[in-house]
């Protein structure tokens, strides 16, 4: 089955989202789950049908759900056809707890009856996002031309690794392949060493998922002026290339070719680097501006180095050696306290167990407690978005496939007899 997401306004006479309330549970700035009375969620009117269970689509729907959209995740009805990745998403994306802020529905889009249910949803929807091979949407009868006839206001977004046209359109890939093609992998690592795989899925999450959300919001706003939908092609590789424009444009304009570990923000300079400390930890230094670099040199008792911030050759090597030797004389946290007291851009290199206990992240609600239907109060990563009148909340959890199928069909007007018949025919699950 291909990967789809439908985003839509709720139909006033046939609502598909649970009734909203101004009293709800939210993760507050102190990281504690509590009942809040605030304005409505920013995307409360948005409905999402989503079968993009992995990568960019999964992260896109997570953001939309956190912003208040009603996410309905569509999956295969045949358990043998569900991919391992789909099952992993339900158990693993949110810490083996299930997926937050969504509902699940089994629907077989290869059947006429399954497509009929899908078309009913399209009637009151704003957007479809698919993340399958280009031909699959045509094979299932849910391509842009087909659904636009049902609803001319549809915004149709295709998420793919390389885009919907060009010689790579049918080539399979994953995050590592897209960052390789886009040039990011070649510039990640130290000079003279091999390319280093980044610590998170840059193409899936940033160049794909977040980029798709931006396109969605822009298209929804644009539609308020035109009244009609449009087709949107989101390529993860395109996103990486645009993110790499800081290095690509100088080559296109002046022929300046950046190399791994040899550009100014890649560890080439001593004042923008990572240093080992006496306890085996690491501290990051970002003294990019001249005044920050001067502060650093004065702190390390080497004011004579201030004038050599951009000096190449032996002098740069000398500064590197001195910084390395000096930072090994104290622990990471000792250095952090000293550096920050002197207004020097610095931060500890955290491991994950340190990230989740950082007081700044807890104060910002990025790490907090939320109720879980099985495990009670559990800690989770919050939302990066801070809207003053639409506080982030975990409204619900999906912990199993087909958890809300009957509920969704009932809200479409299906009675019990009709639902049972669809289940017997394995159209729903």
Q: Whole-model pTM?
A: 0.87
- pLDDT for residue 88: 67
Query: Regarding beta strands 103-106 and 99-100, do their DSSP bridges make them parallel or antiparallel, or are they unpaired?
Result: unpaired
Beta-bridge partner residues of 272 = 286
Q: Could you report the per-residue pLDDT of 296-336, keeping only the tens digit for each?
A: 999 999 999 999 999 999 999 999 999 999 999 999 999 99
What's the average model confidence in pLDDT over 353-370? 96
Q: Is the dihedral of CA 125, 82, 56, 393 positive or negative?
A: positive
Beta-bridge partner residues of 14 = 11
Comparison of pLDDT for 371 and 324, the residue scoring more: 324
User: How far is the CA of 135 from the CAs of 165, 177, 259, 308, 337, in angstroms?
Assistant: 12, 21, 38, 58, 57
What distance in Å separates the CA atoms of residue 316 and residue 270, rounded to the nearest whole number?
7
What distance in Å separates the CA atoms of residue 173 and residue 202, rounded to the nearest whole number?
14
What DSSP element (H or E) covers 74?
strand 70-75
pLDDT above 90 coverage of the chain, percent: 68
Q: Is the dihedral of CA 88, 94, 98, 99 positive or negative?
A: negative
CB atoms within 10 A of CB 289: 12
Total residue count of the chain as it appears in this document: 429
Residue 25 has phi, psi (to 5 degrees) of -90, 135
Q: Could you report the per-residue pLDDT of 124-155, keeping only the tens digit for each?
A: 888 888 888 777 788 888 889 999 999 999 88
Distance of CA 143 to the CA centre of its chain: 25
- pLDDT for residue 195: 97
What's the average model confidence in pLDDT over 360-377? 92
Kindly write down the DSSP assignment for every residue of 287-341, as one continuous string. --SHHHHHHHHHHTT-GGGGGGTT--THHHHHHHHHHHHHHTTS-HHHHHHHHHH
Q: Could you give the maximum distance between any two Cα atoms of the chain, in Å?
A: 85
User: How far is the CA of 200 from the CAs of 52, 204, 205, in angstroms?
Assistant: 19, 9, 8
| Domain locations along the chain | 4-242+368-424, 282-348
- pLDDT for residue 91: 67
* CATH class belonging to 4-242+368-424: alpha beta
- pLDDT for residue 264: 85
* 269 has pLDDT over 50: yes
pLDDT above 70 coverage of the chain, percent: 89
Calculate the CA dihedral of residues 113, 122, 73, 240 and round it to 10 degrees: 130
């Amino acid at each position: 089955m291909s990967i789809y997401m439908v985003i839509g306004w709720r139909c006033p006479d046939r609502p598909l989202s649970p009734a909203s309330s101004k009293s709800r549970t939210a993760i507050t700035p102190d990281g504690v789950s509590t009942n809040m009375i605030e304005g409505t969620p920013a995307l409360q009117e948005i409905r999402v049908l989503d079968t993009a269970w992995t990568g960019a689509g999964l992260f896109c729907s997570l953001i939309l759900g956190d912003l208040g959209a009603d996410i309905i995740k569509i999956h295969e009805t045949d358990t043998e056809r569900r991919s391992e990745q789909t099952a992993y998403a339900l158990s693993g994306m949110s810490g083996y707890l299930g997926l937050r802020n969504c509902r699940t529905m089994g629907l077989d889009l290869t059947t006429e009856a399954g497509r009929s249910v899908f078309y009913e949803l399209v009637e009151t929807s704003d957007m479809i996002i698919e993340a399958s091979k280009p031909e699959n949407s045509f094979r299932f009868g849910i391509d842009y031309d087909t659904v636009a006839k049902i609803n001319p206001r549809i915004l149709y977004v295709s998420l793919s690794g390389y885009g919907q046209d060009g010689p790579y359109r049918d080539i399979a890939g994953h995050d590592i392949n897209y960052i390789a093609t886009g040039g990011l992998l070649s510039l990640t690592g130290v000079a003279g060493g091999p390319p280093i795989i980044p610590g998170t899925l840059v193409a899936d999450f940033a160049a794909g998922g977040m980029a798709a959300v931006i396109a969605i919001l822009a298209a929804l706003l644009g539609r308020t002026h035109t009244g009609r939908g449009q087709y949107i092609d989101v390529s993860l590789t395109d996103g990486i290339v645009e993110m790499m424009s800081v290095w690509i444009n100088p080559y296109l304009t002046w022929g300046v070719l950046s190399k791994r570990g040899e550009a100014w923000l890649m560890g080439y300079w001593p004042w923008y680097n990572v240093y080992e400390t006496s306890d085996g930890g690491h501290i990051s230094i970002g003294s990019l501006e001249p005044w920050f670099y001067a502060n650093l040199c004065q702190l390390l008792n080497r004011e004579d180095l201030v004038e050599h911030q951009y000096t190449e050759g032996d002098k740069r090597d000398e500064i590197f050696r001195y910084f390395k030797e000096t930072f090994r004389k104290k622990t990471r946290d000792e250095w952090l306290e000293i550096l920050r007291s002197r207004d020097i851009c610095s931060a500890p290199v955290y491991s994950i167990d340190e990230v989740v206990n950082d007081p700044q992240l807890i104060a910002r609600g990025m790490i907090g407690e939320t109720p879980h239907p099985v495990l009670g109060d559990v800690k989770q990563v919050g939302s990066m978005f801070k809207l003053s009148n639409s506080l982030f909340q975990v409204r619900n959890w999906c912990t199993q496939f087909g958890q809300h199928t009957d509920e969704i069909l009932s809200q479409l007007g299906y009675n019990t007899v009709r639902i049972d018949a669809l289940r017997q025919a394995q159209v729903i699950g």
